[in-house]
Chains A and B, each alone.
Chain A
Amino acid sequence: MIYCKSLIFFFVATVLFGLSHFSGVEAETTRYKLEPDMIASGVFVFWGKQESFSRENGANIVNTGFIVGRDAILAIDTGPTRLYAEEMIEAIKAVSPLPIRHAVVTHHHGDHAFGIQTFKKNNINILMHPKAKNLLAEEGAVLFGYLENLIGLDWTTGTEVDLPTSLLEKERMIDLGQRPVLIIPYEGGHTPGDLVIYDITSKTLFAGDLVFNGRAATIPHADISTWLDHLDTLEKQDWESLIPGHGPLLSKNQALDSTRTYLAFLRETAGAAISRGTTLAEIMTTVIPSPFDQLATVNSEFLRAMTTLFRQLEDEQFKSSPSTK
């Protein structure tokens, strides 16, 4: 009887496995189904999910977008995979027949930069900060390994880490045809080389990962003090809408507190723990206080953040205390 049941189970499992892996079912599921959302005339956003990387979302957790001028289009970020970038280009073409001339990659993290190769193949000029380019060259392969582990080969197939075609270190204006767009570097905060895109016409600011809204910020390459300064500067800029790298749109004069208070909380928590001698395991098993416990993905991001900050601060602490060979 049991033997019989397990045979049936094996049969059913085989059929299901076969279906999902060798037929159209799979092709259907590995699509991001990107839909551009027009937030101002000529300004579109592909909103990512408020989640961590997973096999279900294929790393579609990032906000990308594009700005349409009279003559040309500028894309903001390239997404996490070849598939994402292809869908993005397809979706842009469905909106406008104008050429996509530029793609600005806000920083080197994979969810923003691993679609570069696809944009390059379409002869699109890809702009990045030189420090971001160097980090992508150094760490891209390792970061891609992590991503592949987390979202699976179905999503990452055909993706290759590639580098930008041009570099931008100083503020620069790009004209898309009666549509001037400013590209502004913000160094050494969220990562050593972040870029922000400002559409003068609609007063829309694409802030990249310098701003997170309702989601826990990630800090593996961050200098929190400089980042907090950048947030002050960004807040004073004249924007009507701000598109964060992750999370929903922020309207005029809505403060950037979600990012600011969380960063300050991380710095204070890690700093106090290090100076008191609290261990990493102790801090990781404490309860995350309100309101930070409400942030999307905070449980896993808090662990990552504490690991990063402990390594930095512990190193400084040991350097400043007695040490001999």
Chain B
Amino acid sequence: MAKLSVTLQPSAIAAFFALFTLVLFPHLGNAAQTLDPLASTNWLDLQEEYLGEGPVEFNSSITLLLPPEIENSHEVPLTVVIPRTLGDVQEVVILAENNPIQQVLRLHLHRPVHSLSLTMRLETSTPVRAAVLLADGKWLVGSQLAHVLSPGGCSAPGGNSGGEVAQVGEIAFKQFENGGIYKNDRLKFRITHPMDTGLVTKANGESVPAYYIDRISIHDGSGLLLEFDTQAAMSADPVVTIDVPELQQNIRVMASDSKGLEFDSGELPTAQ
């Protein structure tokens, strides 16, 4: 018996304790908590690497919507709901723990956003996190397990850009009035880009070098709205949807990629 406890990892003890705590105090499961609800063994490393020093709290009001099972790991749809009750949000970081590229994107907010949707690459089944930074320096983390049926979203060929018909850097765009979760403005755009991870080897043995959009910014008539730091863990031709309650006219999407190319949608007329 003594031998058994010696072989247990601290994380396993934490997982057991988390379960134990939830059984004794089930109400904690719905509210903020300091223990990882998914009891991941990697989480503390991720927290240190991507969220830094600030205090972290797991919060189930940050909802992550993922398909219950994922067949196409090159193009996994994710929607993150960021309830307005959280108040002033500074940053949102999307992390896929078991990915070779863990940080999918980091969003810097200059105005409120209530939901963020994107298509991403998942190498294998993994906890997916949406970490939200509040003005007081505290991180709130929402979590969901992604069940991937066909692994290889980052390293296997496939999920290619529709680049023959559209040119790299072409930005297509659609606005939905009252389409958002709080019946507010929803903005959806797609940037044509291969988003190569650098981890794919073609059938002929040639490896495909990393090439991806690393920065996206959105502007409107009243200035800078949002900035994204993006990685190749976003799908080819990524589609991003955001709910922005204070969206103004003359929206403009700009992006740059890892070769230093700059893309600009120009000022787009407001959609119908």
- A residues with CB within 8 A of B: 2, 146, 149, 276-282, 284-285, 299-300, 303-304, 307, 314-315, 317-319, 321-325
Q: Mind listing 10 A-B residue pairs with CB under 8 Å?
A: A277-B176, A280-B119, A281-B117, A284-B66, A314-B190, A314-B239, A317-B174, A322-B265, A322-B268, A325-B169
Asked if A307 contacts B72 (CB within 8 A), the reply is yes
Check: B269 CB closer than 8 A to any chain A CB.
yes
Given contacts A314-B239, A321-B172, contact A277 B188 (CB under 8 A): yes
Contact at A282–B172, with CB atoms within 8 Å?
A: no
Contact bitstring B231-266, A, C-beta under 8 A = 1, else 0:
000000001010000000000000000000001111
A151 CB to closest chain B CB (Å) equals 13
Decide: A325 near B241, CB < 8 A? Known: A281-B117, A284-B68. Answer: no
Chain B: minimal CB distance from A174 (Å) = 38
Count the A-B residue pairs with Cβ separation under 8 angstroms: how many?
Answer: 87
Residues on the B chain within 8 Å of A146, using CB: 150
Identify the 5 closest CB pairs spanning chains A and B, nearest first. Answer: A277-B176, A277-B179, A318-B172, A280-B77, A281-B79
Structural contact, B71 and A323, CB atoms closer than 8 A = no
Given A149-B150, A284-B77, A322-B268: A279 and B241 interface contact (C-beta under 8 Å): yes
Given contacts A277-B179, A304-B71, A323-B170, contact A2 B188 (CB under 8 A): no
**B residues whose Cβ falls under 8 Å from a Cβ of A:** 3-4, 65-69, 71-72, 75, 77-79, 117, 119, 150, 162, 167, 169-174, 176, 179-180, 186, 188, 190, 239, 241, 263-266, 268-269, 271
SS of A interface (majority): helix
Query: Which B residues are CB-close (under 8 A) to A324?
Result: 170-171, 264-266, 268
When C-beta atoms are compared, the residue in chain A nearest to B158 turns out to be: A142
A299 neighbours in B (Cβ, 8 Å): 68
Q: Judging by beta carbons under 8 Å apart, are A303 and B69 in contact?
A: yes
Q: For A318, what are the chain B residues with a Cβ–Cβ distance below 8 Å?
A: 172-174, 190
Collect the chain A residues with CB atoms within 8 Å of residue B170's CB: 323-325
CB–CB B173/A323 < 8 A: yes
Question: In the bound complex, do residue A281 and residue B67 qualify as a contact, i.e. CB atoms below 8 Å apart?
Answer: yes
Given contacts A277-B176, A318-B174, A285 and B72 within 8 Å (CB-CB): no
User: What CA separation (Å) do A236 and B75 show in the bound complex?
Assistant: 41
Task: Name the residue of chain A whose CB is nearest to the CB of B72.
Answer: A307
- Which residues of chain B come closer than 8 Å to A279, judged between CB atoms? 65, 77, 79, 117, 241
Cβ contact within 8 Å between B167 and A321: no
Contact residues in A for B176 (Cβ distance below 8 Å): 276-277
A325:B167 contact, CB within 8 angstroms: yes
B94 to chain A, nearest CB (A): 12
Q: How far is the CB of A316 from chain B (nearest CB, A)?
A: 11
Q: How far is the CA of A208 from the CA of B32 in the complex (A)?
A: 53
Query: Which chain B residues lie closer than 8 Å to A321 at the CB level?
Result: 172-174, 271
Q: How far is the CB of B6 from chain A (nearest CB, A)?
A: 12
Q: Which residue of B lies closest to A283 (CB)?
A: B77
B147: shortest Cβ distance to chain A, in Å? Answer: 11
Rounded to whole angstroms, the CA-CA distance of A211 and B186 in the bound complex is: 38
CA distance A277 to B119 in the complex (A): 15
> Contacts A318-B172, A322-B269 hold; do A281 and B4 have CB atoms under 8 A apart?
no
Known: A276-B179, A282-B79, A299-B68. A323 touches B188 (CB 8 A): no
Is A322's CB under 8 angstroms from B65's CB?
Answer: no
**Chain A, Cβ-Cβ closest to B241:** A279
Q: How distant is the Cα of A321 from the Cα of B188 in the complex, in angstroms?
A: 11
Cβ-closest chain B residue relative to A282: B79
Chain B residue nearest in CB terms to A279: B117
Can you name the residue of chain A whose Cβ is closest to the Cβ of B269? A322
The closest CB in chain A to the CB of B71 belongs to: A304
Bound together, the chains give a CA A2 to CA B5 distance in angstroms of: 12
Instruction: A278 to B265: give the CA distance in the assembly, Å.
Output: 23
Interface centre among A146, A282, A319 (most CB of B within 10 A): A282
List chain B residues, Cβ under 8 A from A307. Answer: 71-72, 75
Q: Given A279-B79, A281-B78, are A303 and B68 also a contact pair (CB < 8 Å)?
A: yes
Q: Compute how far the CA of A284 lies from the CA of B3 in the bound complex, rounded to whole angstroms.
A: 46
- Among A277, A282, A300, max chain B CB count under 10 A is at A277
Q: Which residues in A have their C-beta under 8 angstroms from that of B167?
A: 325
- Contact status of A323 and B65, CB under 8 A, knowing A279-B77, A279-B241, A282-B79: no
In the complex, what residues of A have CB within 8 A of residue B188's CB?
277
Other A-B contacts than A281-B117, A324-B265, 6 sampled, CB-CB below 8 A, are A2-B4, A277-B176, A281-B79, A284-B68, A307-B71, A325-B170
